[in-house]
């Protein structure tokens, strides 16, 4: 974990503990704001730790915060953080992580019912004493039960955005080992699933022992679970993430077959083996072989494989088009006549239509945001700060938005080489109405309508709510349609067939929010949207510079749903995209 990430976590914990202790709200907010400021820095805060002027020039970092940053950089600790940890039971922070439980409620449970852990929370749920607390009715208690059950069900799987960087570091480390020929990660991670169970790494090497030793001895290994000639397993700790990683050492001549086998999915592999059998062949992790007699596997009989070195060779030998890893889910891709689609890639994306500035809860100015987008080769960036109902995110009321529009227009005239559009992420109320009136919405170049509250609605109400927003003539994009947070919050569960059909009818794009915590739409809903003829938008929901890097997670999700560039509005050229946006303004 980087210094920035470590310090952001510390300040975030301090804010939570201060609130649990009932401390002054100003102190709580100051620490929370410092956490966001440090997390949003593009450079390493350690490099400017000794320069108080540089630190305090960062919005959200005052003199006291700067002192704590210097203390951490010099000693690896923050004394005040240690003092707070001594006052707050460790298990109480886990209770605070339960979706739907805020600091005030958790503090009340702690003070009045002695809740200091998840076990204690379950105790007062089971004996019913939780109902004795103020504002704790049957419905609220049921919500807490459901949140606990959901968290327990999701706890063993790791988000894509947490797992992929770890796997990439493992691969990069092994590539540097002398004698290593090829390295790749496989499994559900390679297929781009939103969560994964463990990491699968394949390596071919002239010296397998050296690769194994590098793997089991690398930084972050907490425990070596197994170390054999062909397979080794370790428990890794990377920041807050604990995950098992398995290394398989394979022959380079069979690397493609092994990669195909360990990438999966299981169902896809079954279909491939069935196809091989029908063609008089045998497929396993060592290769595609001609059918042989005897009980021993063909590789043990010395049979030469028909194909094994690359996945492409194997698919070709099976008379098939190559199947991208993201589509290997037994969705018809092994059938005769299936053709490889031209799936969207990160390099195809040329515009970002959902981004926040310091006007709401972002950390960059309009100009800084535009310069970041321009540096990535984008032709368009839409500034879509929050609307007035998102009070906690600094949402803009009507007067502030009108002034903000002027500021965006002014910045667009100053920053050359990119178009800066004036937009807003407008809250969709529980009844489907929007946070601004039509007169103000019509002044915006881009309207992204998103649900942020009332995310426990029943399917019927949620569907009606989103349909009203999709059908609104001034809405361009339906943002993170379900409002889910992976492993934390299920969000809305609307009828996606109805939403997709309406989106196609009204020319409203459905967003794949690329933030790895959201990935909303999810892959299955992307497929539904495409089947109905709807357009998709790949947006990073940018709040800080590094959020642009989340794009790859949204692209993986889009690819799993079969998204092609022509169906994604962010891949279009400036003329086509701007023309499409203007259609909803009578242009």
At 388, which CATH number? 3.20.20.140
State how far the Cα of 198 lies from the Cα of 419, in Å rounded to an integer: 42
**Domain identity same for 422 and 569:** yes
Give the pLDDT confidence of 156-177 residue by residue, as tens digits: 689 999 999 999 999 999 999 9
**Domain identity same for 164 and 288:** no
Read off the pLDDT of each residue in 216-225 and give the average, rounded to a whole number. Answer: 91
**pLDDT band with cut points at 50, 70 and 90 for residue 153:** low
pTM, full prediction: 0.80
* Average pLDDT along the chain: 94
In the chain, how many domains are there?
Answer: 4
**Domain identity same for 417 and 449:** yes
Do the domain assignments include residue 453? yes
Do the domain assignments include residue 129? yes
Listed residues 154, 189, 215: the one ending a domain: 154
**Domain identity same for 76 and 165:** no
Q: What is the CATH number of the domain that holds 95?
A: 1.10.150.110
- Strands 199-205 and 231-238 come out as unpaired
Annotate 14-36 with DSSP letters as a single string: HHHHHHHTT--HHHHHHHHHHHH
Do the domain assignments include residue 336? no
Q: What is the CATH number of the domain that holds 312?
A: 3.30.210.10
Candidates 441, 465, 436, 438; CA nearest to 453 is 465
Pull the structure tokens for residue 199. Answer: 């990491």
Q: Which pLDDT value is given to residue 158?
A: 93
Do the domain assignments include residue 257? no
Do the domain assignments include residue 57? yes
Using the predicted structure, report yes or no on whether residue 564 has a pLDDT greater than 90: yes
The residues, ordered by sequence, that sit 6+ positions from 585 with a Cβ below 8 Å of its Cβ are: 442, 445, 474
Do the domain assignments include residue 471? yes
Do the domain assignments include residue 256? no
Query: At which residue do the structure tokens 């907010």 appear?
Result: 29
The residues, ordered by sequence, that sit 6+ positions from 165 with a Cβ below 8 Å of its Cβ are: none
Using the predicted structure, report yes or no on whether residue 150 has a pLDDT greater than 80: no
**Domain identity same for 280 and 372:** no
Contact 212, 249 (CB under 8 A): yes
State how far the Cα of 289 lies from the Cα of 311, in Å rounded to an integer: 14
Q: What is the domain extent for residue 359?
A: 346-583
**Domain identity same for 547 and 414:** yes
**Domain identity same for 229 and 132:** no
How much of the chain is helix, strand and coil, in % rounded to 5? 50, 15, 35
Q: Which pLDDT value is given to residue 154?
A: 53
Using the predicted structure, report yes or no on whether residue 107 has a pLDDT greater than 90: yes
**Domain identity same for 53 and 68:** yes
- pLDDT higher at 12 or 400: 400
Give the pLDDT confidence of 201-210 residue by residue, as tens digits: 999 999 999 9
Q: What is the CATH number of the domain that holds 172?
A: 3.30.460.10
Quickly count: other Cβ atoms within 10 Å of residue 270's Cβ.
Answer: 13
- Strands 221-227 and 231-238 come out as antiparallel
Listed residues 139, 154, 169: the one ending a domain: 154
**pLDDT band with cut points at 50, 70 and 90 for residue 5:** confident
Q: How many CA atoms lie within 13 A of 250 on its CB side?
A: 28
**Domain identity same for 37 and 109:** yes
Do the domain assignments include residue 255? no
**Domain identity same for 164 and 150:** no
**Domain identity same for 285 and 205:** no
**pLDDT band with cut points at 50, 70 and 90 for residue 587:** low
Q: Which pLDDT value is given to residue 90?
A: 86
Read off the pLDDT of each residue in 227-245 and give the average, rounded to a whole number. Answer: 90
Listed residues 221, 249, 277: the one ending a domain: 249
Using the predicted structure, report yes or no on whether residue 360 has a pLDDT greater than 90: yes
Q: Which pLDDT value is given to residue 274?
A: 95
Query: What is the distance in angstroms between the CA of the first residue and the CA of the last residue of the chain?
Result: 49
Annotate 104-115 with DSSP letters as a single string: HHHHHHHHHH--
**Domain identity same for 208 and 269:** no
């Amino acid at each position: 974990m980087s210094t920035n990430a470590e310090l952001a976590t510390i300040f975030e914990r301090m804010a939570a503990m201060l609130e649990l202790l009932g401390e002054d709200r100003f102190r709580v907010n100051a620490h929370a704001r410092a956490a966001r400021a440090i997390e949003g820095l593009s450079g390493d805060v350690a490099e400017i730790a000794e320069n108080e002027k540089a630190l305090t020039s960062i919005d959200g970092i005052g003199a006291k915060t700067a002192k704590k940053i210097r203390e951490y950089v010099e000693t690896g600790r923050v004394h005040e953080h240690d003092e707070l940890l001594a006052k707050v039971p460790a298990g109480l922070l886990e209770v605070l992580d339960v979706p739907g439980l805020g600091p005030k409620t958790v503090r009340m449970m702690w003070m009045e019912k002695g809740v200091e852990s998840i076990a204690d929370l379950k105790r007062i749920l089971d004996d019913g004493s939780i109902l004795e607390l103020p504002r704790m009715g049957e419905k609220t208690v049921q919500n807490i039960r459901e949140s606990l059950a959901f968290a327990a069900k999701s706890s063993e799987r790791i988000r894509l955005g947490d797992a992929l960087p770890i796997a990439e570091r493992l691969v990069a480390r092994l590539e540097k080992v002398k004698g290593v020929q090829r390295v790749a990660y496989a499994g559900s991670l390679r297929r781009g699933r939103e969560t994964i169970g463990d990491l699968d790494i394949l390596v071919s090497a002239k010296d397998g022992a050296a690769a194994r030793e590098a793997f089991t001895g690398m930084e972050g290994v907490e425990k070596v679970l197994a170390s054999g000639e062909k397979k080794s397993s370790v428990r890794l700790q990377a920041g807050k993430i604990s995950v098992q990683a398995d290394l398989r050492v394979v022959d380079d001549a069979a690397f493609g077959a092994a990669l195909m086998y360990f990438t999966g999915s299981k169902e896809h592999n079954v279909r491939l083996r069935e196809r091989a059998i029908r063609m008089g062949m045998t497929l396993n992790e060592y290769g595609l072989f001609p059918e042989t007699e005897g009980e021993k596997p063909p590789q043990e009989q010395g049979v030469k494989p028909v194909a094994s070195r690359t996945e492409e060779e194997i698919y070709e030998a099976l008379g098939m088009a190559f199947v991208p890893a993201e589509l290997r889910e037994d969705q018809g891709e092994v059938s005769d006549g299936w053709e490889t689609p031209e799936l969207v890639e990160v390099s195809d994306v040329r515009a970002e239509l959902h981004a926040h500035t310091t006007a709401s809860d972002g950390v960059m100015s309009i100009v800084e945001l535009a310069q970041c987008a321009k540096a990535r080769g984008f032709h368009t960036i839409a500034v879509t700060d929050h609307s007035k109902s998102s009070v906690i995110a600094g949402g803009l009321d009507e007067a502030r938005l009108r002034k903000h529009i002027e500021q965006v227009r002014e910045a667009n005239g100053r920053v050359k080489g990119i178009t800066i559009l004036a937009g807003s992420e407008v809250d969709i109320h529980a009844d489907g109405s929007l946070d601004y009136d039509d007169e103000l919405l019509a002044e915006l170049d881009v309207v992204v309508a998103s649900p942020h509250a009332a995310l426990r609605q029943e399917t019927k109400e949620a569907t009606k709510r989103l349909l009203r927003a999709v059908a609104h003539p001034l809405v361009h994009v339906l943002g993170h349609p379900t409002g889910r947070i992976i492993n934390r919050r299920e969000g809305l569960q609307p009828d996606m067939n109805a939403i997709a059909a309406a989106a196609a009818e009204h020319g409203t794009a459905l967003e794949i929010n690329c933030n790895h915590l959201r990935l909303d739409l999810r892959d299955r809903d992307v497929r539904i949207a495409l089947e109905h003829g709807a357009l998709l938008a790949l947006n990073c929901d940018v709040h800080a510079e590094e959020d642009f890097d989340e794009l790859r997670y949204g692209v993986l999700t889009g690819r799993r749903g079969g998204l092609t560039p022509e169906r994604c509005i962010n891949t279009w050229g400036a003329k086509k995209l701007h023309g499409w946006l203007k259609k909803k303004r009578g242009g």
